[in-house]
Amino acid sequence: MKIAVVRFPGSNCDHDLLHALKFRLKMDAEMVWWGKKNLDDYDAAFLAGGFSFGDYLRAGAIARFAPVMEGVAKLADSGKPVLGICNGFQILAEARLLPGALMHNKSMKFLCQDVFLKVEAANNVFTGKLHKGEVLSMPIAHMEGRYVADEATIKQLEAQDRVLLRYSQKDGSLSDDSNPNGSMGAIAGILSEKRNVAGLMPHPERVCEALLGGGEDGVKFFTSFIEGTKR
């Protein structure tokens, strides 16, 4: 599997993501600049975190019009995996490849902290090798991470088992205290209807090296993806 790590002006997690995939997990991954339209040579696309185009207007609003998004949309339509992390999630939502929107955190403050995440959906290529109810620990770093959608969309996500990850306590229980940004339903990640496009606000690429502290739950997440693509 060949993965395109999509880089926009303002991306700042692209090298972290590439390192995790290529050097930590030995995957075939390479950086792809935002001006490349054709992604036919790739089997998946990962959109990294950061501040694409300076987050002008709102996070992801300009990046959604970048030429590379034509290739990303084509991959998604063909059923190939597309993953957006943090700013990548915001871009996928702006591009309508995922429903809902990412708004300013309830606190109106930039949040940079470790959070616990309960795996809610396990029947997909991203978390299929994890256990439903399993709790992971990853960092978040965002200002516009509060997931919102209309009532019908939230009901559909829940009914179709498309909530990928949910903010939780260490034991998997839910509370207002464990929902750092005020996301509806404590949603930290979701899936598309075809279940091949995913967006998540936490950063698995930042917890792939034990020497850097914070554990290696990112390895669990990406290993699940690797194993899931072998089905």
Just list the catalytic residues.
86, 203, 205
Give the Cα separation of 172 and 147 in Å (integer). 19
Torsion of CA 44, 50, 53, 58, to 10 degrees: 100
Q: What are phi and psi of 58, to 5 degrees?
A: -170, 165
Nearest to 34 by CA among 55, 64, 75, 54: 64
* Helix, strand, coil distribution of the chain in percent, nearest 5: 30, 25, 45
Q: What are phi and psi of 18, to 5 degrees?
A: -65, -40
For the chain, percent of residues with pLDDT exceeding 70: 100
Give the Cα separation of 60 and 6 in Å (integer). 13
- pLDDT in the model for residue 96: 98
- pLDDT in the model for residue 214: 79
pTM more than 0.85:
yes
Domains of the chain and any CATH numbers: 2-228 (3.40.50.880)
Nearest to 47 by CA among 2, 97, 4: 4
Predicted confidence band of residue 231 (pLDDT cuts 50, 70, 90) = low
116 vs 214, residue with greater confidence? 116
Evaluated on CA atoms 161, 147, 111, 212, the torsion sign reads positive
Dump pLDDT digits (tens) for 118-168: 999 999 999 999 999 999 999 999 999 999 999 999 999 999 999 999 999
Give the DSSP letter of residue 8.
-
Dump pLDDT digits (tens) for 75-95: 999 999 999 999 999 999 999
Task: Spell out the alpha helix ranges (H) of the chain.
Answer: 14-18, 68-77, 87-94, 151-159, 217-228
Q: How far is CA 155 from CA 7, 9, 107, 168, 181, in A?
A: 33, 35, 25, 20, 20
Which tokens belong to 222?
């990406």
